[in-house]
């Protein structure tokens, strides 16, 4: 059965449902909710890891390079030599081979960050007033400077766009005016505050879960049921700290994460989902889609970029071509609804799907419609009792 949805009607219904659920949830405290930022900046950076029971034995410098984000082998070896790596409370050498359940503590020194400078980088501003901007971020753009991306970020572009007004913003943490974040390879809407008062008020709206954030994603397969709520705890994976993992809800690991999903287009082997966030955990949607078993197409970190076999002719070349068209996660921040921080006026913005996601959808739809048309024609020929030679299809 083919599921069709008129975009305008479906989008309006989604927003109404999201508004209802947000109002309903505002007075429901979430377990493990933290008032602090999930990844507060620390100087120096201290990390504690416990080696899994099933971890293959290897040198500790190799293990830490794999497990710690932005840690090169040279940095790890220097930390070991300087005594900033402890295994079971004792210093070790670089050739120490890790053992099951080893408790590892590493302290990484952070070099002083370069001064944040304005850069003339084109950005798509879809709304702007004296307090804020709403930007449609293109995929591939890093939101704020960090290791490996000190320039060319949205933060650099913001300083250039705002000009003298940016002098009021705090640049000490390299996040001037940035209220929330999007992953580098996630496209879509992001709010930027233009002064400290607006930043504080907008941040409060996010903290009190009064901002409606809706995303569009293209995923593998079709979730059953076609709508629902995913509730887990999300935290750093114990096997790989660069990846977020799902843990039992209300358990001791991770923090509560809640995502609503709705299938807006059923494409048999794929589907388009509308997703509403009730919390803002790192990689929340991507981790939740993996948990659901319907990974986002192109998401290499969470299993969405693996080759799969579909029940169609030339399946392998079709899937390869699809992943070439979408070398990132097919995830787009489509809608933001919030209140203007000064006037309290309700504001709502929607950004159309970017070109790469539209191209992928067109390709999927064309094959899906061919498949559906072939089935319909086959059934018609059978009803007419025509010879089988006329019903040969490549599907």
Catalytic residue positions? 183
HSE-CB of 99 using CA atoms within 13 angstroms: 5
**Contact residues for 302 (Cβ-Cβ < 8 A; gap 6+):** 243, 283, 286, 287, 289, 290, 295, 296, 329
Q: Is 39 exposed, middle or buried (0-12, 13-18, 19+ CB in 10 A)?
A: exposed
What is the spatial distance between Cα 280 and Cα 265, in angstroms, rounded to a whole number?
25
What is the spatial distance between Cα 358 and Cα 3, in angstroms, rounded to a whole number?
18
The first and second tokens of residue 170, run together, are 């705090």
**Contact residues for 118 (Cβ-Cβ < 8 A; gap 6+):** 156, 159, 160, 163, 166
Give whole-number Cα distances, 168 to 79, 131, 162, 172, in Å: 38, 12, 11, 12
Let me know how many helices (H) and strands (E) the chain has, helices first. Answer: 8, 14
What is the spatial distance between Cα 315 and Cα 109, in angstroms, rounded to a whole number?
49
Give whole-number Cα distances, 158 to 62, 155, 176, 215, in Å: 38, 5, 8, 23
Residue of 277, 293, 167 lying closest to 229 (CA atoms): 277
Instruction: Return the number of other C-beta atoms located less than 10 Å from residue 325's C-beta.
Output: 19
What is the spatial distance between Cα 201 and Cα 198, in angstroms, rounded to a whole number?
5
The first and second tokens of residue 18, run together, are 């999201």
Contact 312, 318 (CB under 8 A): yes
Give whole-number Cα distances, 22 to 28, 204, 262, 276, in Å: 10, 15, 16, 10
HSE-CB of 181 using CA atoms within 13 angstroms: 21
């Amino acid at each position: 059965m083919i599921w069709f949805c008129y975009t305008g009607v479906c989008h309006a219904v989604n927003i109404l449902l999201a508004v209802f659920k947000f109002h309903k949830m505002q007075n429901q405290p979430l377990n493990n909710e933290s008032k602090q930022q999930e990844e507060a900046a620390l100087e120096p950076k201290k990390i504690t890891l416990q080696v899994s029971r099933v971890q293959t034995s290897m040198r500790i410098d190799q293990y830490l390079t794999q497990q710690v984000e932005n840690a090169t082998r040279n940095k790890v070896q220097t930390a070991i030599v300087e005594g900033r790596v402890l295994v079971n409370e004792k210093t070790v050498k670089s050739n120490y081979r890790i053992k099951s359940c080893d408790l590892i503590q590493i302290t990484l020194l952070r070099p002083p960050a370069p001064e944040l400078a304005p850069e003339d980088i084109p950005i798509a501003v879809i709304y702007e007033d004296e307090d804020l901007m709403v930007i449609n971020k293109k995929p591939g753009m890093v939101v704020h400077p960090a290791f490996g991306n000190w320039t060319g970020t949205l933060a650099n572009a913001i300083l250039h766009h705002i000009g003298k007004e940016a002098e009021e913003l705090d640049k000490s943490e390299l996040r001037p005016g940035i209220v929330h974040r999007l992953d580098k390879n996630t496209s879509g809407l992001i709010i930027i505050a233009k002064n400290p008062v607006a930043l504080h008020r907008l941040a409060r709206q996010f903290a009190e879960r009064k901002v409606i954030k809706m995303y569009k994603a293209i995923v593998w397969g079709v979730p059953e049921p076609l709508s629902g709520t995913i509730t887990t705890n999300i935290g750093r994976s114990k096997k790989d700290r660069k990846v977020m993992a799902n843990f039992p809800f209300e358990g001791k690991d991770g923090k509560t994460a809640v995502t609503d999903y709705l299938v807006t287009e059923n494409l048999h082997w794929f589907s388009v989902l509308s997703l509403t966030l009730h919390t803002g955990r790192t990689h929340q949607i991507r981790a939740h889609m993996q948990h659901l078993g319907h990974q986002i197409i192109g998401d290499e970190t969470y299993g969405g970029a693996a080759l799969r076999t579909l029940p169609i002719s030339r399946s392998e070349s079709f899937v390869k071509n699809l992943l070439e068209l979408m070398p990132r996660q097919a995830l787009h921040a489509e809608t933001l609804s919030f209140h203007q921080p000064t006037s309290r006026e309700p504001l709502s913005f929607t950004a159309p799907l970017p070109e790469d996601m539209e191209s992928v959808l067109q390709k999927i739809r064309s094959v899906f419609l061919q498949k559906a048309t072939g089935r319909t024609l086959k059934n018609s020929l059978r009803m007419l009792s025509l010879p089988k030679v006329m019903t040969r299809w490549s599907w």
